Amino acid sequence: MDNNQLVDQYFRKDRLPHIWCPGCGHGVIMHSIVKAIAELGWDKNDVVVVSGIGCSSRAPGYMDFNTLHTTHGRALAFATGVKLAKPHLKVIVISGDGDASAIGGNHLIHASRRNIDITTIVFNNNTYGMTGGQYSPTTPTNEFGTTAPHGNIDAPFDIANLAGAAGATYTARTTAFHMNQMTTIIKNALEHKGFSLVEAISVCPTYYGRKNKKGDAPQMMKWLKDTFIDIKVADKLPEEKRVGKLLMGEFKNVQKPEYTEEYHKIVDRLSGVK
């Protein structure tokens, strides 16, 4: 399916153009999500896309599915309600790094622990875009944000591994530069039964890039290209070639009992019984 067909079939054209800044990485990730859904051939009526609040969280408004734009940090809790109520629905959560791991951190670890069949895509731009570039839980130590004018002294979260440690059964990281890999990874995450999380590294040239002298959008994209290496490749590289590199790829992919199925076993056992 070419891009025009994709837009025709899966986007709400009357809602475009989007609000994102020129050079923002969020559009690339949204595109990958839709492409993955198109490749899976899912019925649009069965797809629910839920977001919290932030630049990233505006994505559902552009996508032609059942879409729900909730409160800051709470998307996973809303999504849990939708999924548990109607387990046949394919529920996808779109979240920013702040949305997912600061205000929504509690929901993130518990959704992971429950292993409920929801796919979360975290648009990680290492900053709070919508509120103007404050430091976020993924801003590296010593970098800058409008609320870290003297350098950030917090240690950052590794969101993909945080979710994995909390019980998510599929975790991966990919970047806005690696579009083909991103689409494949998102497809795998969508097909995975259980809680899956994809940390999609985005770029925010407007705030994060400017504050941290990362250059314009193309330079930030080049940085993604040069810095991220696939975990499988990294495993084979000698130590010195891994210095300064960051990992992407599939980190965890295991099968465990899924929450809504386990609940339905109880319902099946009890319904009809008085």
Partner 1 sequence: MSSRKIKLMQGNEACVEGALYAGMKFYAGYPITPSTEIAEISAQKLPYVGGKFIQMEDEIAGIATAIGGSIAGLKSMTATSGPGFSLKQENIGYAAIAEVPLVIVNVQRGGPSTGLPTAPAQGDVMQAMWGTHGDHPVIAICPSSVKETFYETVRAFNLAEKYRMPVILLTDEVVGHMRESIEIPEPGEIEIYDRLRPETDDQNYLPYGVNDGEIVGRMAGFGEGHRYHITGLFHDETGFPSNSTKNAGVMLDHLMSKISNNTDEIITFEEYLLEDAETVVLSYGSTARSARSAVNKLRAAGHKVGMFRPITIWPFPEKQVVELSKRVKNIVVAEMNLGQLVLEVQRVVEGRTKVHHIGKANGEVVTPIDIIKKVEEVL
Ligand X SMILES: Cc1ncc(C[n+]2csc(CCOP(=O)(O)OP(=O)(O)O)c2C)c(N)n1
Establish if 16 lies at the interface with partner 1 (CB under 8 A). Answer: no
Binding to partner 1 (CB under 8 A) within 41-80 occurs at 44-46, 48, 50, 60-61, 64-71, 74, 77-80
> Of the two residues 115 and 127, which places its CB atom closer to ligand X in the complex?
127
Torsion sign (Cα): 70, 248, 140, 28: negative
Give the Cα separation of 208 and 144 in Å (integer): 8
Beta strands in the chain (DSSP E): 47-51, 66-69, 90-96, 118-124, 127-128, 134-135, 170-175, 196-201, 228-230, 246-253
Q: How far is Cα 256 from Cα 115, in angstroms, rounded to an integer?
A: 8
Is residue 25 a contact point for ligand X (CB under 6 A)? no
Of 25, 129, 194, 209, the residue at the interface with ligand X (CB under 6 A) is: 129
**Count of residues near partner 1 by CB under 8 A:** 40
Give the residues lining the site for ligand SF4 (CB under 6 A): 20-21, 24, 26, 55, 125, 129, 204-207
Q: Which of 70, 124, 59, 65 is nearest to 96 (CA)?
A: 124
- Shortest CB 141 distance to ligand SF4, Å: 21
In one-letter notation, the amino acid at residue 138 is: T
Please report, as ranges, the residues that interact with partner 1 according to CB under 8 A.
15, 44-46, 48, 50, 60-61, 64-71, 74, 77-86, 88-89, 106-107, 110, 263, 266-267, 269-271, 273-274
